[in-house]
């Protein structure tokens, strides 16, 4: 699978499995199927409440730990220094792993300085419990602030990104500062399947709208973490590498942006 290089020289798989909304036995089954198909990047979060279900899948899999890339996220209410360290320890226990491949601040908290949170995350990195550190849902001003405090620590910003929410300014700023973007909701919560442009392009090139949307992101060096709950969708989402991305498809998809933000809790103030 294609990988992107982080600023510290480590690699992150270009495609992963998003697990938001997956719980219990369903989550375990989906993660096991994903691993069997060749997924190696699993994205989760404390907020999702599925760490133990994922741990069950990991423990039942034949895939070695060093072949996996496990991402999790600290909740916004747990970003104070001591609480962050406590939460990270709990998440590792729930996942039954010794380290995160990537640990993120899930949402910024206006009442807790990002410098305080990153100080704790730096400690986790130094003692080997987190190989890579990043943030999520950070706007340009918030990302700029984080980089001012820890320019070498912040490697990833995970944000909502899909053809109808093309955050070009954020993407340009991230690349300028050697930060990789990860796209959650890369299929716009299923809206891509009903997009007439993507449907027409899919028929023309014998690809699904999802495959086109995911490949569009990967062509921009953006990591994509689509969620899927069926083996067929897992397989289709994985089939985004071994074909040439049509130039005219790329051109048409550049015009789909509608600032169609689907996740907006009120803070931060998105661009």
Report helix, strand or coil for 117: helix
Which residues, including other chains, have CB under 8 Å from residue 113's CB and lie 6 or more apart? Answer: none
Report helix, strand or coil for 143: helix
User: Which residue, among 21, 65, 13, 60, has the nearest Cα to 39 in the 3D structure?
Assistant: 13
Provide the β-strand partners of residue 42.
17, 70
Report the distance separating Cα 204 and Cα 210, nearest Å. Answer: 14
The alpha carbon of 118 is separated from its chain's Cα centroid by a whole number of angstroms, namely 19
First to last CA, the chain: 33
Which residues, including other chains, have CB under 8 Å from residue 224's CB and lie 6 or more apart? Answer: 14, 15, 16, 182, 183, 186, 214, 217, 218
For 118, the token pair is 């990153």
Residue 240 CB-half CA count within 13 A: 29
Q: Which residues are annotated as a binding site for substrate?
A: 106
DSSP code string of 145-189 = HHHHH-TTTEEEEEEE-BTTB--HHHHHHHHHTT-EEEEESTTGG
Q: Which residues are annotated as a binding site?
A: 106
| Residues catalogued as catalytic | 48
């Amino acid at each position: 699978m294609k990988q992107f290089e982080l600023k510290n020289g480590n690699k992150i798989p270009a495609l992963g499995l998003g697990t938001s909304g997956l719980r219990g036995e369903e989550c375990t089954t989906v993660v096991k199927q994903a691993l069997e198909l060749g997924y190696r990047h699993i994205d989760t979060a404390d907020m999702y409440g599925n760490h133990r279900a994922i741990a069950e899948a990991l423990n039942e899999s034949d895939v070695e730990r060093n072949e996996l890339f496990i991402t999790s996220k600290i909740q916004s209410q747990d970003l104070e220094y001591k609480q962050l360290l406590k939460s990270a320890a709990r998440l590792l226990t729930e996942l039954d792993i010794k380290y995160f491949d990537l640990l993120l601040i899930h949402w910024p908290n206006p009442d807790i300085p990002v410098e305080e949170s990153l100080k704790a995350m730096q400690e986790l990195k130094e003692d080997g419990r987190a190989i890579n550190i990043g943030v999520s849902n950070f706007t340009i001003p918030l990302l700029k602030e984080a980089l001012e405090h820890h320019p070498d620590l912040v490697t990833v910003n995970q944000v909502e990104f899909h053809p109808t929410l093309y955050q070009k300014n954020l993407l340009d700023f991230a690349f300028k500062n050697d930060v990789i973007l990860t796209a959650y909701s890369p299929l716009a919560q299923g809206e891509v399947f009903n997009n007439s442009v993507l449907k027409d392009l899919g028929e023309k090139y014998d690809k699904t709208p999802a495959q086109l949307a995911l490949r569009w992101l990967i062509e921009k060096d953006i990591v994509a973490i689509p969620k899927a709950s069926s083996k067929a969708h897992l397989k289709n989402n994985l089939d985004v590498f071994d074909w040439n991305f049509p130039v005219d498809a790329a051109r048409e998809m550049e015009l789909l942006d509608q600032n169609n933000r689907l996740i907006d809790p009120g803070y931060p103030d998105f661009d």
